[in-house]
Amino acid sequence: MTISPRIIPNCFRVAGRAMIPAPTMVVKRLKTALENDAPSKPRKRPRERLDVPSKHSSKNTSVDVIVMREENERDNTRVPSLQCYGRSERMKDKTLAFVGDSLGRQQFQSVMCMVTGGEQRTDVLNVGEEYGLVKGRGAIRPGGWAYRFPNTNTTVLYYWSASLCDLVPLDITNLSTDVAMHLDRPPAFLRHYLHKFDVLVLNTGHHWNRGKLNANRWVMYVGGVPNTDRKIAGIPGARNLTVHSIIKWVNSQLLRYPGLKAFYRSISPRHFFNGDWDTGGTCENTSANAAGMEVLQEESSDDLAARAVKGTSVKLLDITALSQLRDEGHISRYSIKATPGAQDCLHWCLPGVPDTWNEILFAQL
């Protein structure tokens, strides 16, 4: 089969300006993990002819773009490339699962692009049915996607869970029903399929606001009943409980599944300037790494994530500070479906910053 373009959104025909992936950032905590990688010289990716939107025209303009891949050579080490990872023995007969929001979906899409080299693959199998990832009646899309690479029997999947809570409709016969948002209970998908995973990457963050909860009719539940604790009723308290609860639960499952490697990815930063997403905020900088090239801080910029994984065997995939440097890497006003006057300064162009998240992830496997 051919991989759906919805899953691989123009891997090398990207809307926007960010035509180089994020450089491999120097993070002290990764130094030990990287020391086992063989040293190599910087490499240049070949000159490719790409169709990208011109900043001066609403139509796609074919231009020659030299796509450069910056490699980290500090201490004579580098993060390994993923383009051939689909053929690697490391992931043979294994399943990599991403569970989270739309930024988690972008990380999944990045892996798919990197493993396939951005090329159409007729040999890749759609195995979504094995994980209940099918489009339901009346649904716009399935709850996620799962693809298998037959040459190594490697499966890569994504499941949409913006809050990492268990969401249960209060009245399954009513399409407008409220939904119980069980803050202290993992999504049913994880409870049903965790035993099939070898690598799990979780994330949540940007759906934790009152507007999203109200729009989705999510009603907070704790202990199986509506929440009455005023400290938890606020968004920060609710999110804190959920993040700690999901990590505690996954950590408890690692004893049952010792081969499972679990990660919690820190929050991906937004870069809205002079407003927010709905008040004219923009991110029109076009200079890569204007804020610098290195992250040398010892502590995570996502304090909640760092506190939640502390003392557990769930690893922190800490991408917040390095992504903060890449305000020019967002989709901005170059989205194919851009709304006049609104810019996307939350999601990233691909190839781009999520590629670096995955390089860091695979360096730890």
Q: What is residue 161's predicted lDDT score, i.e. its pLDDT?
A: 97
> CA 226, 231, 236, 240 torsion: positive or negative?
negative
* Residue 117 confidence class, pLDDT cut points 50, 70, 90: confident
| Identity of residue 222 | V
Q: What is the DSSP letter of 264?
A: E
pLDDT at position 24 over 50 = no
Is-contact 128 145, C-beta < 8 A? yes
- pLDDT exceeds 60 at position 363: yes
Can you spell out the DSSP letters for 173-191?
A: T-TT--EEEETTS--HHHH
Which 8-state DSSP code applies to residue 151? T
For 25-57, the pLDDT digits (tens) are: 333 333 333 333 333 333 333 333 223 232 222
Contact 33, 364 (CB under 8 A): yes
Task: Give the pLDDT confidence score for residue 294 in this predicted structure.
Answer: 83
DSSP state of 361: H
For the chain, the first-to-last Cα distance in angstroms comes to: 29
pLDDT at 27: 35
Mean pLDDT taken over the chain: 79
pLDDT, tens digit, for every residue of 277-330?
Answer: 778 888 988 887 777 788 888 899 999 999 999 999 999 999 999 999 999 999
Tell me what pLDDT residue 289 has.
74
Q: What is the fold, at CATH topology level, of the domain defined by 81-363?
A: Rossmann fold (3.40.50)
